[in-house]
Amino acid sequence: MDLQLSGRVAVVTGASKGIGLATVATLLEEGAAVVAVSRKSSPELDALAGPRLTHAAVDLMDPEGPAMAVERAVEVYGGLDILVNNAGGPPPGVKLPRFAFMTPTDADWLTMFEFNLFAVVRAVRAAIPHLLARGGGSIVNVTTGAVRQPGPMNVDYQAAKAALLNVSKALSEEYAPQGIRVNTVSPGPVRTAWWTEEGGAADILAGATGSDRDSVMDTVAPQMMNLSTGRLVEPQEVADVIALLASPRSASTTGSEFAVDGGFLKGI
């Protein structure tokens, strides 16, 4: 299916690995030009180099960072059609999971909201005038399945993403008449660096459960989270949904939330 993305311009945050990297690759395959936003590049991102890919070395924790990323797209490619706010999860230097409400401090809460909510708000604020100038476009915000099925782990992260879902719904209502669609994708546990990096979630859960990192990712975590598929989600599976929502083929889809979570969400 042609997603009709040829010639479109996209900004993708958290683009050097995981869901963001898969989204960049997918949009490029569909003919879009992409500004890939991350603090630093990666060998995998560098391997996608070409005239339709620009890396913006931006720290989204810098209040000016999101606008700098958007302006880079306008500067290089002449406008903006798609904004994918994928960056999120543990802020730089933070390791998750945290196991209880009393664990995060006020500073932890502020940092979590800065990265997972305020950076997105700033990116959207910067993007909207450019999307309107092109007659509309698509914003896709990445949240988490825990928005709908919260638990005691990572409560600050869940709260920030729940706020992002609320903001996304409000944006969709305000800007749909002007041609801007706003949707969210809520992944379950995805086999990304959050899990796989040394000292990441797999190692933390391995220490807590007396298991090993591979068993955590292959068996323990899917069982703990009651995933119907019995496995973690792959980044490409999330990227495919993001690309479809970014596409004009989804012209009547706005204000919607899509779970790509291996059956994590059990509610109706």
| Cβ burial, residue 261 (10 Å; 0-12/13-18/19+) | buried
Query: Which residue has 């807590």 as its token pair?
Result: 208
**Catalytic residue selected from 77, 113, 115, 157:** 157
User: Is 157 marked active-site?
Assistant: yes
**Measured distance CA(124)–CA(106) in Å, rounded:** 26
Distance CA 75, CA 69 (A): 10
- Cβ 49 vs Cβ 70: under 8 Å: no
* Contact status, residue 152 vs residue 97, Cβ threshold 8 Å: no
User: How would you list the strands of the sheet with 257-260, edge to edge?
Assistant: 53-57, 33-38, 9-13, 82-85, 137-142, 180-187, 257-260
**3-state SS record for 112-145:** HHHHHHHHHHHHHHHHHHHHHHCCCEEEEEECCH
Q: Which residues are catalytic?
A: 157
